[in-house]
A and B are shown apart, each in its own frame.
Chain A
Amino acid sequence: MAKIVGGVTTSHIPAIGNAIANELFEDPYWKPFFDGYPKAREWLAEVKPDVAIVVYNDHGLNFFLDKMPTFSIGAAPEYQNKDEGWGLKPLPPYPGDPELSWHIIESLVNDEFDICSCQEMAVDHGFTVPMALLWPDQTQRPVRTIPVAVNTVQHPLPTPARCLKLGEAIGRAVASYPKDLKVVVLGTGGLSHQLDGERAGFINKDFDLMCLEKIVDEPEALAKYSIHDLVRLAGAQGAELILWLIMRGALGRKVAKVHSNYHIPISNTGAGLLVLESAA
């Protein structure tokens, strides 16, 4: 049977992608951020997952406002990265696992979640930056991937409570898959940041640290917030916390914290990293 072995949360902002491209790992500005990742990579090397379910938000690469699905799941044999408008060279494609994708889609719809299934899906920095942080060698793709894209672009966004439940349903879906597979779930984005308006540059360290603590054993406490609460407390883009809640829901009730890191600022963002292991 397939099993979710754990999850990782990480920021995914484009500036990280630039810093990776320019190898700024020892640069004083970036070092406290990048130094958080070797432990996450060590954990992944230990558990050797077969598949990564990557929960992220599309930033206007695959989806436009003509059609804006709330929850979309990739069901493609591979996922291409593309130019997002800044002329960066696209990364090599990421292999998919369409059979597991369809199993998850069917299970979620049966669980009353309405999913947009995507047999083609271009993945942007929301997906590629976390993958590059956790598996830096771009010539190798040691895990198959299943992108789960959540609308954080156009309100109304799905509520935190709904997202935690979606994660729980993903957990049930994976647990009911008959093949022996080890699965990790990545919750990307966050933590507090706001890019737009006179409030640009808003960061809330206290809120971020509270989230990093509560999400381990009390995710329900975070699921009580409304999206409006998250925008108020964590900034307009801090609403990406819903992506972390999907990850957390998928891991089941009991988890063990393996590693965490937090650093301000990375570009305009409070950057959090968390590695959680599912209870045996």
Chain B
Amino acid sequence: MSAPTPHEPIPGTTIFDGRMAMKGYPLNKMCYSFNEAAARQEFLADEDAYCAKFGLTDEQKTAIRERNALALLAAGGNIYYLAKFIGMLGLNVQDIGAQQTGMTVEEFKAKLKAAGN
């Protein structure tokens, strides 16, 4: 078998491959640290210092500061690790789904429900 041929892009979807994994490494490493309660407290006490500790890029720091899920993904964030950051903020995947699709949470929930019809 040889290297796979490139695929047609899927609109609204970023495949988290090696390229994105390299780009997002410091951001995802910071989010992975949030498994520990002490790390979450340290971040919440001084966000900028905590981002600097993990060597986040300016793009990543801005996306964290702005709680911007699409910008976090574009900066190499992986949804599985970002979920820890999102959860720490008291948000869930429906809140973030609404943010990413430009809907209210109620509209986003209605869209999900409609998928069952």
Q: Which residues of A contact B (CB under 8 A)?
A: 14-15, 59-61, 64-66, 82-87, 153-156, 194-201, 203-205, 226, 228, 231-232, 236-237, 263-265, 267-268, 270
| Contact between A199 and B83, CB atoms less than 8 A apart | no
CB distance from B88 to the nearest CB of A (A): 6
Q: Which residues of B contact A236 (CB under 8 A)?
A: 13, 15, 79
The bracket for how many chain B residues form the interface is 35 or more
A-B CB contact pairs (8 Å), 17 listed: A59-B83, A64-B32, A83-B37, A86-B88, A153-B16, A155-B18, A196-B69, A197-B14, A198-B100, A198-B101, A199-B10, A199-B12, A203-B115, A228-B10, A236-B15, A264-B112, A265-B116
| Contact between B13 and A231, CB atoms less than 8 A apart | yes
Which of A82, A85, A155, A268 contacts B84 (CB under 8 A)? A85
Q: Does B55 contact A (CB under 8 A)?
A: no
Q: Which residues of B contact A60 (CB under 8 A)?
A: 31-32, 35, 78, 80-81, 83-84
CB distance from A242 to the nearest CB of B (A): 15
A69 to B97, CA, bound (A): 29
A50 to B78, CA, bound (A): 37
Q: Does B40 contact A (CB under 8 A)?
A: yes
Interface string of B20-34 (1 = CB under 8 A from A): 010001001101101
Compute the total of residue contacts between A and B using a CB distance below 8 Å. 134
Q: Does B92 contact A (CB under 8 A)?
A: yes
| Contact between A268 and B16, CB atoms less than 8 A apart | no
Most chain-A CB neighbours within 10 Å: which of B85, B93, B96? B93
Q: Which 5 residue pairs are nearest across A and B when measured between Cβ atoms?
A: A85-B84, A199-B12, A264-B116, A198-B12, A203-B115
| Contact between A83 and B87, CB atoms less than 8 A apart | no
| Contact between B80 and A200, CB atoms less than 8 A apart | no
| Contact between A200 and B101, CB atoms less than 8 A apart | yes
A97 to B100, CA, bound (A): 43
Q: Which residues of B contact A153 (CB under 8 A)?
A: 16, 78, 80
